[in-house]
Amino acid sequence: MAVRLDATGLSKLEKKLTTYIELKGALSAAQAAVVFDGYLKDELSHPGTGRLYNKLTAKRNKKGRFQKRRHYEHRASAPGEPPAIDTGFLRASVTVETDLPGGAAQVEVTAPYAVPLELGAPEYGLQPRPFFRVALAKAREAMNGAAKRARPGKRRG
């Protein structure tokens, strides 16, 4: 099994995190990508345990004035935790492509702030909030377990 994590242009906030999964064995690359996609979205679905923010939203009316203010609270993630969900944009930016040449599959996070969240951005005072590598490790463990269960072996008794 070969799994490659490609995070190009880490200094730019606009870059993406991508993983290419090529599997030989019990699971196809498409199945592995779907498994990884599930673990990735699960990592991005938990509330944080960090600082609590009071947020105020407003819309502009037809005259350009602000109206319809709505107040809500957001608990951020602590450093080392996966990012806490707020708007859902990061989770919604996860895409899966399964029909690549050679039977490969691609899972991509296209949010412009995905790389700084994953690896941290010291120049902005942002400590890492790993989600991609954590989900990849969990998915790899689950896929290895599935591959072991799928292998015919000696049965006892």
Split at pLDDT 50, 70, 90, the class of 34 is confident
Look at residue 125 and tell me if it is in a domain. Answer: yes
Look at residue 55 and tell me if it is in a domain. Answer: no
Look at residue 30 and tell me if it is in a domain. Answer: yes
Residue 17: closest CA among 40, 35, 1: 40
**Helices and strands of the chain, counted as H and E runs:** 4, 6
Task: Please write the tens of the pLDDT for every residue from 101-112.
Answer: 877 788 889 999
pTM of the predicted model over 0.85: no
Domain hosting residue 43, numbered range: 2-7+14-48+80-149
Measure the CA–CA gap between 55 and 119, rounded to whole angstroms. Answer: 26
> What CATH number is given to the structural domain containing 143?
3.30.1360
* Other Cβ atoms closer than 10 A to 3: 16
Look at residue 68 and tell me if it is in a domain. Answer: no
**How many domains does the chain contain in total?**
1
Task: Please write the tens of the pLDDT for every residue from 71-127.
Answer: 778 888 999 999 998 889 999 999 988 877 877 788 889 999 999 999 998 999 999
- On whether the CB atoms of residues 147 and 27 are closer than 8 A, the answer is yes
Look at residue 115 and tell me if it is in a domain. Answer: yes
Look at residue 116 and tell me if it is in a domain. Answer: yes
Look at residue 69 and tell me if it is in a domain. Answer: no
- On whether the CB atoms of residues 140 and 54 are closer than 8 A, the answer is no
